[in-house]
Every structure is written in C-alpha cells, then in structure tokens.
C-alpha cells in the first residue's frame, strides 16, 4: 500500500516538476492542460440553524455541472473531479459544495455563494440578467431578422416572377383566340405543365 501511495505522490510530484520546467508551454489544445493549483478559494458559509440538506445527491451532481472548475480547464466541477486525477481544485470545490449542502443551503444559494467568491466566471453559463441577455438573445434575434428578411426577399422575387409571367404569355394568349377549341384555362394549364417540366 505504501508503494502505491509513493507512486501516486511521484505522479503528482512529477506534475510539479513539469510546471517548474522552464522550457515553455506546449500548445496542446485539450482541456485541463493549464492547471492553476492556486486558483482555489474557499467558499465558506456558516451552517444554517438546524440545518438539513435541501439538495439530493443527484441534484448536487447536477449543480456541480453548473459550476466551472477554476483550475484553468474548460470542465465543470463534477466532470473535472471525476476525470482529472491531478486536479486539486475541483475536489476542493466539491468539498465546498458538500459543506454548503450540509449547511442547509439551496441550489441557488450555493451558486450565489460561488459567484460571490469567484465572480461570474464560476458559472458554466452566464446569468440571465443585464448585458448577458445579449448573449442569449442575439442568435435568436439575428435568425428571426434573417428569416423575415429572407421571406420578404422571396416574396419580392415571386412578385417579379409573376409580373414577368403576366407579360410573357400575353402574345400567345392573344393568338389563342384564333385557335379554335382551345380555352384560356387549357392554355394556362399547358403553360404550368411546361414550367414544371423545365
């Protein structure tokens, strides 16, 4: 058992040696490569009087999906702590969540506590308030405006096509009168059939 612990210590020690290395950072794109172990700040709140947990285990895990790990990776606390062996930030943040849950705080109160300590960067998605609404609304607005503009444009093009069609068959229809037994309806049907063929 001792040997195993030493191995784990060596692994973590190796990480330290790497951080201290002076050869400069690699540009690896994956998450969790730029760990900032000093990024952790305790989120401490006194337990409520007669505190009982307001949050179930499943709700707690879901809540941790909404809190971003501050180690420098792009993962949430739950994913990071269950993935990254070397991250000491996400387990520490998890312990804060556990303490707050045990202290009788609700999900929203826990989120607010993290935001107070770290700022909005503690959340995996911005709060729906103030300027942040621009983030949520802009894609929908752009798409709606685009949709309306496109519909107006298509209607305009259709009106042009109808105008052109109204002018084009004028001559044949006039001649149609000279064709015995051919009605205007039949000519229009023929015209439509030819267009569909084209």
Partner 1 sequence: MILVGELSLWIALLMCAWSATLSFAGGRLRRTDLIHSGERGLYAGFGFVVLASAGLWTALLTSDFSVRYVASFTSANLPTIYKISAFWGGQAGSMLFWCLILAGYAALATWVNRRDNRALMPWVTGTNALVLLFFVATTVFASNPFERLDWVPADGRGLNPQLQNPAMAVHPPLLYLGYVATAIPFGFAIAALITRRLDAEWLGAVRRWSLVSWVFLTLGIVLGMWWAYVELGWGGYWMWDPVENASLLPWLTGTAFLHSIMIQEKRGMLRKWNVTLVVTTFLLSILGTFITRSGVIQSVHSFAQSAVGHWFATFFVLALVATIILVAMRLKDLESPAQLEAMISREAAFLYNNLVLVGIAFSVLWGTLFPILSEWVRGTKITVGESFFNAVNVPLGLLLLALTGIGPLIAWRRASVANIRKQFAGPAALGVIAASALFVLGIRALYPLMTWGLAAFVAGTIVQEFWKGIGARRTMYGEGIPRATIRLVARNRRRYGGYIVHAGIVILFAAFAGMAFRKEYDVTLRAGESTTAIDPFGRRWTFTSEGLSEFKALNRDVLTVALRPTVEGRPLPILTSEKRQHRDSRGQPTFQPSTEVGILTQQRQDVYLVLAGAIGDQAEIRINFNPLVAWVWHGGILMAFGGLIVMWPPSMRRRRQEGYVAELAPQAVPASV
**Contact call for residue 12 and partner 1 (CB under 8 A):** yes
Q: How many angstroms separate the Cα of 132 from the Cα of each of 33, 94, 120?
A: 28, 27, 11
**Contact call for residue 27 and partner 1 (CB under 8 A):** yes
**Contact call for residue 84 and partner 1 (CB under 8 A):** yes
**Contact call for residue 83 and partner 1 (CB under 8 A):** yes
**Contact call for residue 9 and partner 1 (CB under 8 A):** no
Given a contact cutoff of 8 angstroms between Cβ atoms, the answer to whether 86 and 62 are in contact is: no
Q: Which is nearer to partner 1, 74 or 179 (CB)?
A: 74
| Closest to 19 in 3D by CA, of 40, 3, 34 | 34
Residue 146 CB, shortest distance to partner 1, in Å, is: 5
At residue 23, φ and ψ (nearest 5 deg) are -80, 5
From candidates 55, 76, 92, 111, binder to partner 1 by CB under 8 A: 76
Strands in the chain per DSSP E:
none
**Contact call for residue 30 and partner 1 (CB under 8 A):** yes
Give, as ranges, the residues between 102 and 161 that touch partner 1 (CB under 8 A).
119-126, 130-132, 134-136, 138-140, 142-143, 146-147, 150, 154-155, 157-158, 160-161
Q: Which is nearer to partner 1, 59 or 104 (CB)?
A: 59
CA-to-CA distance for 77 and 68, rounded, in angstroms? 6
CA-to-CA distance for 82 and 112, rounded, in angstroms? 23
Q: Which is nearer to partner 1, 135 or 172 (CB)?
A: 135
**Contact call for residue 89 and partner 1 (CB under 8 A):** no
**Contact call for residue 94 and partner 1 (CB under 8 A):** no
Give, as ranges, the residues between 46 and 75 that touch partner 1 (CB under 8 A).
65-66, 68, 74-75
């Amino acid at each position: 058992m001792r040997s195993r612990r030493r191995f784990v210590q060596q692994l973590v020690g190796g990480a330290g040696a790497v951080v201290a290395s002076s050869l400069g950072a690699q540009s690896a794109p994956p998450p969790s490569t730029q760990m900032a172990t000093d990024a952790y700040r305790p989120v401490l709140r006194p337990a409520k009087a007669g505190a009982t947990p307001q949050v179930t285990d499943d709700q707690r895990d879901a809540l941790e999906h909404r809190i971003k790990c501050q180690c420098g990776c792009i993962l949430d606390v739950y994913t990071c702590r269950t993935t990254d062996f070397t991250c000491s930030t996400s387990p520490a943040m998890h312990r804060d969540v556990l303490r707050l849950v045990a202290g009788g705080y609700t999900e929203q109160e826990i989120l607010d506590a993290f935001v107070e300590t770290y700022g909005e960067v503690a959340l995996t998605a911005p709060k729906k308030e103030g300027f942040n609404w621009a983030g949520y609304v802009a894609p929908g607005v752009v798409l709606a405006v685009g949709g309306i503009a496109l519909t107006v444009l298509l209607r305009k093009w259709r009106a042009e096509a109808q105008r052109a069609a109204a002018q084009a068959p004028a001559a044949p229809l006039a001649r149609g009168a000279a064709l015995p037994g051919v009605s205007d309806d039949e000519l229009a049907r023929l015209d439509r059939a030819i267009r569909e063929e084209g």
